Amino acid sequence: MTDLLTTQPAVRLADVSKVYGHGPRGLLALDRVSLSVAPGEFVCLLGASGCGKSTLLSLVAGLDRPTGGQITAPGARIAMMFQEPALFPWLTVSANVEMAMRVKGVGRQERRARAAELLETVRLGGFGRKRPHELSGGMRQRVALARALAQDADVLLMDEPFGALDAMTRDLLHDELERIWRERGLAVLFVTHNVREAVRLGDRVVLLSSRPGRVVEEFPVELARPRRTDSAEVATLAARITDRLREEVARHGR
């Protein structure tokens, strides 16, 4: 992998703050967060509920604007994958994947060919004519991943995409995500509450404080890939990060 310390960041946040509301009743969600994600780097965000992880992703995606600071993503194409698949139930799987391309004006024949290719990428070849209700939860998340990839993104934002899945399905999707990330050289910013998931997937784990969200510590993950969630090495680092997270939560009385 390219030296992540010497490449220009795919995404850079410099002293980013976000306040909801105005005046004394305003809620400070993020406070002067600085963070860079290099091209091809997989960064996981951890923190207690309400610490601003999802807010940070929304700001990077351009769905909201920061109150202060600056976010830059020079030349990057950004896609976001949410906690829920949010598929259109009346459309086929293929048509759901095609939606982003349709909005961009891509022709029908090209859309269909591209959607079929992406469904093969996420191991759903042959399911293009199914409807979302005919798929399992894990399969619907695969469709959502294919739809995000259809945007030809080089930065992928993921907001707890596997949180509602059972452990076995989540483990299989970890493998698929890692494979696709490697093949495409994506920069990934991944939000999770699961410490072992963060260590299993990330090149780096960034810990945010309780509200307001601030970067309190970063943990490089220097374990060889592929990794297993239940491996001793993953468990050891996850325990260290969990202890630090508990300290932070206790400090804020939550």
Q: How high is the mean pLDDT in each 10-residue block of the chain (254 residues)? A: 63 94 83 95 90 91 93 88 89 92 86 92 92 93 91 91 86 91 94 94 94 91 93 95 87 62
- What is the pLDDT, as a whole number, of residue 1? 45
- What is the pLDDT, as a whole number, of residue 212? 87
- What is the pLDDT, as a whole number, of residue 178? 94
DSSP 25: G
Cis peptide before 226 (omega within 30 of 0): yes
State the Cα–Cα distance between residues 148 and 142, nearest whole angstrom. Answer: 10
* Entry pTM: 0.90
The helix (run of H) or strand (run of E) holding residue 154 is: none
Residues 65 and 106 placed together within one structural domain of the fold: no
- What is the pLDDT, as a whole number, of residue 6? 52
- Domain boundary, last residue among 115, 131, 152: 152
Residues 51 and 134 placed together within one structural domain of the fold: no
Number of domains composing the chain:
2
Cis peptide before 212 (omega within 30 of 0): yes
Residue 124: domain span: 83-152
For 232, the 3-state DSSP assignment is: helix
- What is the pLDDT, as a whole number, of residue 251? 73
Residues 89 and 141 placed together within one structural domain of the fold: yes
Residues 164 and 252 placed together within one structural domain of the fold: yes
Residues 119 and 185 placed together within one structural domain of the fold: no
φ/ψ bin of 62: left (φ > 0), alpha (ψ from -120 to 50), beta (otherwise): left
Q: Is the dihedral of CA 191, 133, 122, 99 positive or negative?
A: negative
CATH number at residue 215: 3.40.50.300
Residues 23 and 91 placed together within one structural domain of the fold: no
State the Cα–Cα distance between residues 67 and 95, nearest whole angstrom. Answer: 37
- Domain boundary, last residue among 119, 152, 185: 152
Residues 116 and 171 placed together within one structural domain of the fold: no
- Domain boundary, last residue among 152, 181, 206: 152
Residues 148 and 232 placed together within one structural domain of the fold: no
Residues 143 and 159 placed together within one structural domain of the fold: no
Residues 240 and 178 placed together within one structural domain of the fold: yes
Residues 37 and 130 placed together within one structural domain of the fold: no
Residues 10 and 50 placed together within one structural domain of the fold: yes
